[in-house]
Chains A and B, each alone.
Chain A
Amino acid sequence: MSELLKVTHLQKKFGDNVVLKDINLSVKKGEVVVIIGPSGCGKSTFLRCLNGLEEIQDGVIVVDGLPVEAGKREITKLRQKIGMVFQSYELFPHKTVLENIILAPMKVQKRSKDEAIKEALELLDKVGLVDKKDYYPRQLSGGQKQRVAIVRALLMHPDILLFDEVTAALDPEMVHEVLETMLSLAKSGSTMLIVTHEMSFARAIADRIIFLDKGEIVEESSDAKSFFIKPTTERAKKFLKTFDYE
């Protein structure tokens, strides 16, 4: 399988504070990579570097053969290949569900309105929200907003999808509907990078688990099940223990 994303020697600093050091990662087409780790370990910052929302101080990020460089004009082209879903949904509050979804395909990719609407409705139907198409974001629940945000990212036909703790702001009963949507995406062969605190979900969806701590990859495993049962590093063991109650 072909390599879609390649990160080499990535370093990210905020001032003098090094938040990511020497990150190396490559992701193949169709792979689902889950990144876990304690709060403040740099997971979200890492995702934000991948689509140029954060500038990096060293290293190279290559998506589909093209370098990601924040602040460059070409970045808008690259971002169309990289869909991102945020923790706080970030729908546009002044636009309806449908307008939120079709805006970028129409304005950025210059697709026709009819075609964008047609596909938007198909995707909304898949996530069970087609009857909400004319609602404003404030009229939706958190889980519904997040599914709209996922559809909005999907309509750009990205090669890779980044999920930044997309269930962290949701009520527990809403988490399930969002995770179900992501699972079906994974099954349909989407390439995904997921930052999450939902360990059982991570185990179910991951082709590969990355454990990040203090800005570096401490453990990497392509066998999610055995990672959660028997992590090899002490730091991963300690981290996973915080999810157990005995």
Chain B
Amino acid sequence: MANLGIDVLFKGTNFLRLLQGLWVSVEISLVSVAISILLGLVVGVLMTFNKLWLKAILKIYLEIVRIMPQMVLLFIVYFGTTRVFGWDITAEAAAIFVFSFWGVAEMGDLVRGSIKSIPKIQFESAYALGMDKKQTYFYIILPQTIRRLIPLSINLITRMIKTTSLVMMIGIVEVLKVAQQIIEANRKASPNAAFGVFAVVFLLYFIVCWPISRLAVYLEKRWA
């Protein structure tokens, strides 16, 4: 069998470093996903309101996010703002900002779609019981929205996790960067490491994303 170069990971603290890199990726994803879900719910609700100016602003926001490559946004926020506005933000903060900026818009749009798919008469049924708008959203509409949202948002969440590999471009040492460092440090001793190490990174991403998609299947079944 060909040498896959996995042995490199068992030298010194290499594997531990890789896991630490993974944690950096997961941390950025977790924080961004949490922000995206919370603010996405708010933005999604706002998107269903019949205020023209509000709709216009949110529409522009959503389109900017859709058009702009995440990497460009990362560069603007991390490198661009430092000189122009004199902001001294850490790379992690810039990454979380960019990923949340993206996630909130897309999550908001998913929330909007889910709310729209709930029949109008469910609102009326709640109003007829004397509930006000806030209570109706909180107890009746949003719980149903979240149930519909889960399968849709899993796609977005795993995409966000995978896209965190971009943050190494602004100097964050996350799992992919660590993998590159390990491979380069061992270029002479094990030239095959590129295969083995990246394959392990691939597996690590899978291990992070897979439980999320299983959880979604479980919740979907339970709430069906």
Contacts and interface: CB of A to CB of B under 8 A. Distances in A.
Interface of A: 48, 51-53, 76-77, 79-80, 82-84, 86, 88, 90-94, 103-104, 107-109, 152-153, 156
Interface in B136-156: 139-140, 143-144, 147
A83 B124 CA distance: 12
20 contacts: A53-B128, A76-B127, A76-B130, A76-B131, A76-B132, A79-B129, A82-B128, A83-B128, A84-B128, A92-B126, A94-B147, A94-B223, A103-B129, A103-B139, A104-B126, A107-B131, A107-B135, A108-B130, A109-B130, A153-B129
A214 B20 CA distance: 74
Nearest to A152: B129
Contacts of B181: none
Contacts of A156: 129-130
Given A91-B125, A103-B139, 8 more contacts: A52-B127, A80-B129, A80-B130, A86-B125, A86-B128, A90-B125, A92-B139, A108-B129
B144 A51 contact: no
Interface of B: 121-122, 124-132, 135, 139-140, 143-144, 147, 223
Contacts of B126: 92, 104
A48 B129 CA distance: 13
Contacts of A77: 130
Nearest to B128: A84
Contact of B121 (A51, A90, A109): A90
A188 B128 CA distance: 23
A93 B148 CA distance: 12
Contacts of B130: 76-77, 79-80, 104, 108-109, 156
A13 to B, nearest CB: 19
A108 B131 contact: yes
Given A93-B144, A94-B143, A104 B121 contact: no
B121 A107 contact: no
Contacts of B121: 86, 88, 90
A92 B127 contact: no
A86 B223 CA distance: 24
Contacts of A53: 124, 127-128
Contacts of B131: 76, 104, 107-108
Contact of B140 (A83, A92, A152): A92
Contacts of A92: 122, 125-126, 139-140, 144
